[in-house]
Structure 1
């Protein structure tokens, strides 16, 4: 038998060994709860991304229809410029006015960042231009690098399919921008197919450039009507650019949500396997402890 002096030391050692065994078990249970919480979070995200994909797929048909209708407006205006052989005016100190057609919404891949990169590359080649930004996404990205070039910006763009009324309201504000500009360029995302797009430029000339066109006299347009014609042509081009950019955005959002749903599914599979293995390890550890305790009781 042990002496009374040795018994407290034995009890302290037994308590220390029990704490050492309990610590990994507690950590295992915490890990199980953590994995279960992550699984629940990822499943919720997967539900959201799948729903957003369905919504984007539903909107894409309507956006493509509006894009096809808007091309009739924009391409007709370009035919007038081509027939009149309109060119940008050249002169020292005259800038170009660049309109960037973006939107306020994200979660659509690199639609907006592609336009921003296009403007930054242009600024390196020729920094003599001012910016009009349509949408908060382009404004947030270009304000960090080209803030001094921004003269006008619009919010509330891209909430729904663009209309000619919205384009006309924007054109009315753009023509009132003070400054001597040689011409106007509209930068937008051109819809190539459901999976690809590219930044493209549409030319929208100034009144002086229209009046100086070699073949413009053949249209028999009075000088008093020239400002209205210029604003109407600008609205046509803006409507075309906004509608086509909207179709690109919806298509890119559908693809982005599809990829996000696939990635979430892969993560759920991995975490489910990890959860099952960890739970099996916990059950095995508990069985070992029960068997060991029963064997020790029987030996006593």
Structure 2
């Protein structure tokens, strides 16, 4: 019968601890490199996102001027309402997507029978958990690049196939600054709302030719483009800030683990020296 194995030496545990600390330290350093790289990428995209906002606002300002002069208003009685909620497919950008989901849920609590169109996988996943019965159409592949009018017009065409709504509201993250965004609703006026404008006669609009319907669809595409541009810039800024915070946290953890590693290593060396001196003394 073999004798039982002796208990492991405490130094083996120290060595194991050193290896664990060293492995953890390497992984944190790798994470810090990734987060710093993602921060740099987000910073380089910020200028492009702001230019996309400036370009989209040119068209939306024209829409707002037209609707302001013609005194177009959303109908007070809303039997059928459509909410277009806009995020993107990407994460790692803080609470920017969940804030849109919370705002949409509050709106659905007020209007339980409203239909929802989701643009972006993030808002789709969150709303399907709580309000799956309201989601009627979804789009993905959003947020990889700065949005274009071609993209928003295709989305508007698919939304038009859903039928007529009394009111259409677009929910998006409005870009306030590089460190702030705000979930915002904006009305996308329907053809019926435009026809009911009190001062529509100010403009030369041929109502019989259906031009108001085309105008409503064009305005919806402009509104979606502006909302996507604002949301894209807000997401880039939020991701840059999130990666900056993650890099700072990783740096703090690296400092703590470096101190722990050095102290543990010193303790192992001290214990080995004590063993050597004790063994030499016993032989003498």
TM-score bin, normalised by smaller chain = over 0.9
**What is the distance in 2 between the residues matched to 1:144 and 1:177?**
23
- The match for 1:205 among 181, 186, 189 is 189
Match of 2:268 in 1: 282
Report the TM-score when normalising by structure 1.
0.90
Q: Give the whole-Å Cα distance in 2 for the aligned partners of 1:295 and 1:38.
A: 38
Q: Is 1:295 the counterpart of 2:281 in the alignment?
A: yes
Q: Distance in 2 between matches of 1:79 and 1:114?
A: 30
Determine the C-alpha separation between the residues in 1 that align with 2:108 and 2:215: 30
Match of 2:167 among 177, 180, 183: 183
- Computing the radius of gyration from Cα coordinates, the structure with the larger value is 1
Equivalent runs, 1:129-278 vs 2, <5 Å: 129-178=114-163, 180-223=164-207, 224-278=210-264
Match of 1:6 in 2: none
Residue 123 of structure 1, CA deviation: 1.9
C-alpha contact 1:183 1:204 (8 A) present in aligned 2:
yes
CA distance in 2, matches of 1:240, 1:162: 9
**Separation in structure 2 between the aligned mates of residue 50 and residue 215 of structure 1, nearest angstrom:** 54
> Structure 1 residues 202 and 91 mapped into 2: Cα distance closer, same or farther (>3 Å)?
closer
Distance 2:26 2:81 in 1: 53
Q: Indicate conservation of the 8 Å contact 1:99/1:187, yes or no.
A: yes
**Structure 2 counterpart of 1:58, from 17, 21, 44:** 44
The RMSD of aligned alpha carbons is 1.5
Q: Tell me the CA shift for residue 127 of structure 1.
A: 2.0
Alignment of 1:6-21 (within 5 A): 19-20=6-7
User: 1:48 and 1:126 mapped to 2: Cα distance?
Assistant: 43
State the 1:222 CA deviation.
1.4
Q: Which moved more, 1:76-85 or 1:194-203?
A: 76-85
Q: In structure 2, how many angstroms separate the alpha carbons of the residues matched to 1:128 and 1:212?
A: 24
Please give the alpha-carbon distance, in whole angstroms, between the structure 1 residues aligned to 2:107 and 2:168.
Answer: 15
Residue number in structure 1 paired with 2:20: 34
Q: What's 1:4 paired with?
A: none
- Aligned twin of 2:56: 70
- Of 78, 100, 106, the match for 2:85: 100
TM-score scaled by structure 2? 0.95
CA distance in 1 between counterparts of 2:113 and 2:74 reads 14
Structural mapping, 1:110-121, within 5 Å: 110-121=95-106
In structure 1, what is the Cα distance between the partners aligned to 2:44 and 2:74?
A: 41
- 1:122 and 1:162 mapped to 2: Cα distance? 26
Residue 75 of structure 1, CA deviation: 2.1
Mapped to 2, the partners of 1:206 and 1:171 lie a distance apart of 12
Question: Match of 2:225, SS?
Answer: helix
For 1:140 and 1:23, the matched residues in 2 are separated by: 52
Deviation by residue 1:124-179 (Cα, 9 ceiling, x = unmatched)? 2332311010000000111101111101100101110101111111111111113x
Q: CA deviation at 1:265?
A: 0.2
